[in-house]
Structure 1
């Protein structure tokens, strides 16, 4: 947003905030509760580094955090309805047929044993096993921008096997154990049912398993999913013979199979790696989805880090003839959800939830998703305004230059 004028950005902030509050107003039966929710949103977007109840209350001018806490706890409103509002808002602004739905998880470090879903488990956020909650998220990424559209709290089996613990945290009745890939499949299904336009799914090796692959093939969606080095691949008739683990296949590749490509622009410039892509089988899409047609290709893509040679592996599914550059670009879209987590945690208080209940977690996270989506939309419109201003200035300068040339000739 650096190119847009301060006046433009302030106008976008004011109009976007009014629109966001208007969208969520029907969720609340009482005006005072809706007003508190609006103040909660103000607090998330405020300058305070900690978005705790007391901090939000101070920013809102409340004598204490009770109203802020009531929004997450005692109030009666549907967090999933807010999730759907956020999703529709994001789709309105970022829709694109070639958009990528990125799935990933993040950790919420916690003390104690009462917060819903908490336990000692691995989180990439800390890079170790620690006491935390795990949330699985879906982010829609397109050339227009990116924002969260769904979320789910992961419950370990030691939680779902303990009925008293589930009841104490107010987990919805009937909620059973679901793996992280199963939660991802649920989010993908909701996106498809809601008509979210996207052509691809990207995710890391936690989600590169058979269930998700088959679900995406049936849905007619392409994918680039991370897999482990020990994942087995084999080619079919009509393709060069390949068989073995991803690690073994990579080790035996001809040096000419690698090519240096950019996975997109990062904070330090183009994100260049060496890539190799092997087509393993061509299959008729209608074998999996009656809505799809034509040949689709199952493949293995390998990424090699330029500096240290570290390898990463991906199982792919795409229309036959899709170039490696497209698959690399899809995989490169995964940086967007990492950027989203960093921004939501550092600026919007994603991990500052002080409630312990199931609905408290989902309400807090959904409000943060709304705040993030609002910021992303503002950035998008500010960039458009800057592009339009630059275009007008360029045309004006061109006309002025042409006029001077004609006068000089005269």
Structure 2
């Protein structure tokens, strides 16, 4: 993927990927090629040149994510949590689908994301002062390049309106589940905050939620290893079938290496201790 400065256009392909993370390793398990917008999809000449199938229409990145999760469920892949960044956390359709399937999630949301606290709708950043000092817990969300990543964490019970419209009752979570706002605070700079919308069983622990948030970085690690070891990004294709062939083969090779590593841990053991997410 190439990123262009403002005002500049680059040739690129954008993929949406699903990664699987566990205490024994991680690997990319599904992929979808993202088509830029409705105008691009309706351009018959572009579709013909790129060999885009007739049945392929426009879908947002969260919609592609939901498509891959649906396939994972159908395949019987066991997983405990779904974690994703704010592009997915803000998408009401994805959240509704996850809740309809009684799935746990920990999805990042921006500071101006609105939830219902009490009887009012508030930006999540405005709720931080409501967290008592004693309610913060220091926990690691996994190992990073510089060692264990420690932050202070706390939760608040909130309501969520999936429709994104003002007014109306918050959406009801799945039976036995609740909606929570998980707040992450930097140890070095308390003003540095991150927010995650959580849908989890009422008995879920803070440690489980923190592990789920930390597991999201598995996809970055998957990209790094698949690029370095299997040539995930080493292609110059311009057609739909060629992209899927190259990406799928590279993913398969990377998954095979992950399986081999899982069977031959080093003396220090696996540096990750994430639950399936």
Normalising by structure 1, we get a TM-score of 0.58
Among 225, 236, 243, the alignment partner of 1:361 is: 243
Can you list the C-alpha shifts for 1:219-246, whole angstroms capped at 9, x where unaligned?
Answer: 111000011111111146xxxx774101
Matching residue within 218, 233, 239 for 1:351: 233
1:36-81 deviation per Cα after TM superposition (whole angstroms, max 9, x unaligned):
xxxxxxxxxxxxxxxxxxxxxxxxxxxxxxxxxxxxxxxxxxxxxx
What SS is found at the alignment partner of 2:212?
A: helix
- Indicate conservation of the 8 Å contact 1:121/1:131, yes or no: no
List aligned pairs for 1:56-135, cutoff 5 A. Answer: 108-109=1-2, 131-135=11-15
From the superposition, tell whether residues 313 and 166 of structure 1 become closer, same or farther in structure 2 (CA, over 3 Å).
Answer: same
Aligned to 1:278: 156
Larger deviation, residues 218-227 vs 250-259: 250-259
1:392-407 equivalences under 5 Å are: none
Unaligned runs of 5+ in 1: 1-107, 111-119, 123-127, 388-410
CA contact (8 A) 1:234 1:242 kept: yes
User: By how many angstroms is 1:347 displaced?
Assistant: 2.4
Alignment partner, residue 164 of structure 2: none
1:227 alignment counterpart: 109
RMSD of aligned residue pairs (Cα, Å): 2.6
1:263-295 per-position Cα deviation (integer Å, ceiling 9, x unaligned)? 01233221101112112369xxxx777xxxx52
Question: Partner of 1:195: helix, strand, or coil?
Answer: coil
Could you tell me whether the CA contact under 8 Å between 1:121 and 1:132 is conserved in 2? no
Match of 1:296? 177
Q: Which has the larger radius of gyration?
A: 1
1:9-408 alignment, distance < 5 Å: 108-109=1-2, 131-157=11-37, 158-208=39-89, 209-235=91-117, 243-280=121-158, 294-308=175-189, 309-383=191-265
- Say which structure, 1 or 2, has more relative contact order (CA 8 Å, 6+ apart): 2
More helix by share: 1
Match of 1:48 in 2: none
How far does the alpha carbon of each residue in 1:322-344 deviate from its partner, in whole angstroms, 9 at most, with x for none? 11111001111012111111111
User: Structure 2 unaligned runs (5+)?
Assistant: 161-171, 270-277
C-alpha change, 1:259 and 1:386, in structure 2 (3 Å) is: closer
- Deviations along 1:155-209, one digit per CA (max 9) or x if unpaired, are 1114213111011110011211110001001001111111111121000001012
- What secondary structure does 2:233 align onto? coil
Task: Give yes or no for contact 1:258–1:274 (8 Å, CA) kept in 2.
Answer: yes
Is 1:135–1:151's contact at 8 Å kept on the other side of the alignment? yes
